[in-house]
A and B are shown apart, each in its own frame.
Chain A
Amino acid sequence: MNAVFEIRGLNLWYGQAHALKDVDLSIPRNSITAFIGPSGCGKSTFLRVLDRMNDLVDGVRITGKVNFDGKDIYQHYEAMELRRKVGMVFQKPNPFPMSILDNIAYGPRLYGSPNKHDLMEIVERTLRQASLWDEVKDRLHKNALSLSGGQQQRLCIARTLAVNPEVILMDEPTSALDPISTTHIENLMIELKKKYTIVVVTHNMQQASRVSDVTCFFLIDEQRCGFLVESGNTEDMFFKPRDKRTEDYISGKFG
């Protein structure tokens, strides 16, 4: 199975409002898939379908099929289980008001008490993977909120990695960060895709063209409902888009 996620005929309603229409999409393994499109077109909403974070919202209704590793995410997985395998990094870094070490240990501790040795191993591994280890290895017990914005976001990534996910969902992960931190994180994404599958929602088209392998373009229709316009190889999308709307968006005619 090369597709980590298979989505067929997905529709989502917030109460009576139709928010996502007929989305068909596959997300390939060990790649970076980017969701682009103007604001309000449902990219983030769709992202949250993938780890069932929409379950938390009152009045949300979903139809269609979403398969993770070939199995339906509602029928076959418990929400908790799914979220361990499909991690999420948020737009604004949200480390817990605890020490750096406790932040990373949070996930593993939910499943039992790892002994000190195993825990330190996890902490070092994930912080290295998030390329934060060298900066914080001497102050693991300091409060996570004392880190800079970029460092906090990398900590959140390390925290997600600590539970050994297969997929990492990122909801505009660099929009709240400065350009240098943004570059850091983009490089990180490219490094991480060797082991994990990354799905990133981004406002920033240049970012999408820089890092992603697959791009999906979303738009909103007259009924304020989001839908998928086209998806495919990033290079193709950017230089030879099939749909005129895609071409218009990419060349900046609207956005």
Chain B
Amino acid sequence: MKSIRTRQRIEQGGRVILLLCALLSIATVCLITLFIFQQGVPTFKSVPLKEFLFSSDWSPSASNPHYGILSFVVASFWVTFLSLLFTTPIALSCAIYLALFAKGRAASLLRTSLELLAGIPSIIFGLFGIAVVVPFVRNVFGGNGYSLLSASIILAIMILPTVINVSEVSIYAVSNELRDASVALGATQWQTISRVVLPSSRSGIVASLVLGLGRAIGETTAVLLVGGNAPLFPTSVLDMGRTLTMNIVTDMSYAEGVHMSALFATAMLLFIVILSLNFVVVAITKRSRIK
């Protein structure tokens, strides 16, 4: 027979264990920050911050090594910017279609496709990129094929589900009354969409794009396989480039000393950028809720 005392002790103990499990998430965030920063900060003892951020001379194996990540920053920027550019028309169309038009089979087909697309691992996208996108870019645009452009195309497909999910919700949330008012004034469907619905859901759409941006910046495997991985300053989108994530993965296997710290400093930069993007999203959604 379990006495009341035993059951109470189990209750107390259980509650503590559950609390610890929940606190694990806070602990993990703190530890990740701690460890990454701990490895990354010492870089700046030997590498001045200005050089790190603004020099495109990345030569860790030279006799006088330099650790400037500008080329990678620019590559990351172009890749994410282009991927957003490519993904937005398709994403918005899908979001509008799902939120406003879709009925029955067409809608569930589209939704299922997007769910499956979201579930495909990045390595598969990379492999597809090598086999299909790279030759395509090579034949149509010239050059090597392995390029920032190829990476943007693949990324655009990868972030599609993320962007659609959040935009769809915002577009759907635009009330029926608003739309009815527009239609009652004689507007066409497209006019209602472009003049009433999209502006009303603007903050949600922007939030979804920022989320997509966050995912794109952090992507490693797929861009590694199709981006070319040349640590030079990219002058055109057809150039082979190396993003910040690619740099970390490529060099980490043999880096030591200041070189390794520099890689962790790159990780620090990524971490800070992505955290800031998350805060931006929260700020946008909070503001829209107050409205």
Q: A residues near B, CB below 8 A?
A: 78, 80-81, 110-112
For A80, the chain B residues whose CB sits under 8 A away are 4, 7-8
Q: B2 near A78 (CB under 8 angstroms)?
A: no
Size range of the interface on B? under 10
Q: Judge whether B1 is part of the interface by a CB distance below 8 angstroms.
A: yes
- Find residues 1-33 in chain B having any chain A CB closer than 8 Å to their own CB: 1-2, 4, 7-8
In the complex, A112→B4 CA distance in Å? 11
Whole-angstrom distance between the Cβ of A154 and the nearest chain B Cβ: 28
Whole-angstrom distance between the Cβ of A203 and the nearest chain B Cβ: 36
Residue in chain B with minimal CB distance to A80: B4
Q: B2 near A112 (CB under 8 angstroms)?
A: yes
Q: B7 near A112 (CB under 8 angstroms)?
A: no
Whole-angstrom distance between the Cβ of B22 and the nearest chain A Cβ: 18
* 12 residue pairs A–B, Cβ–Cβ below 8 Å: A78-B4, A78-B8, A80-B4, A80-B7, A80-B8, A81-B4, A110-B2, A110-B7, A111-B1, A111-B2, A112-B1, A112-B2
Q: B residues near A, CB below 8 A?
A: 1-2, 4, 7-8
In the complex, A110→B2 CA distance in Å? 8
For B2, the chain A residues whose CB sits under 8 A away are 110-112
10 closest Cβ pairs, A-B complex: A112-B1, A112-B2, A111-B1, A111-B2, A81-B4, A80-B4, A78-B4, A78-B8, A80-B7, A80-B8
Q: With A78-B4, A80-B4, A112-B1 given, name 9 new contacts (CB 8 A).
A: A78-B8, A80-B7, A80-B8, A81-B4, A110-B2, A110-B7, A111-B1, A111-B2, A112-B2
Whole-angstrom distance between the Cβ of A105 and the nearest chain B Cβ: 15
In the complex, A111→B8 CA distance in Å? 12
In the complex, A80→B7 CA distance in Å? 10
Whole-angstrom distance between the Cβ of A76 and the nearest chain B Cβ: 13
In the complex, A254→B274 CA distance in Å? 62
For A110, the chain B residues whose CB sits under 8 A away are 2, 7
Whole-angstrom distance between the Cβ of B79 and the nearest chain A Cβ: 49
In the complex, A61→B232 CA distance in Å? 69
For B8, the chain A residues whose CB sits under 8 A away are 78, 80
For A111, the chain B residues whose CB sits under 8 A away are 1-2
In the complex, A75→B1 CA distance in Å? 25
In the complex, A111→B7 CA distance in Å? 9
Residue in chain A with minimal CB distance to B1: A112
Whole-angstrom distance between the Cβ of B9 and the nearest chain A Cβ: 12
Residue in chain B with minimal CB distance to A114: B1
For B7, the chain A residues whose CB sits under 8 A away are 80, 110
Residue in chain A with minimal CB distance to B5: A78
In the complex, A112→B7 CA distance in Å? 10
Whole-angstrom distance between the Cβ of B237 and the nearest chain A Cβ: 57
In the complex, A80→B8 CA distance in Å? 9
For A78, the chain B residues whose CB sits under 8 A away are 4, 8
In the complex, A78→B8 CA distance in Å? 9
For B1, the chain A residues whose CB sits under 8 A away are 111-112
In the complex, A110→B6 CA distance in Å? 11
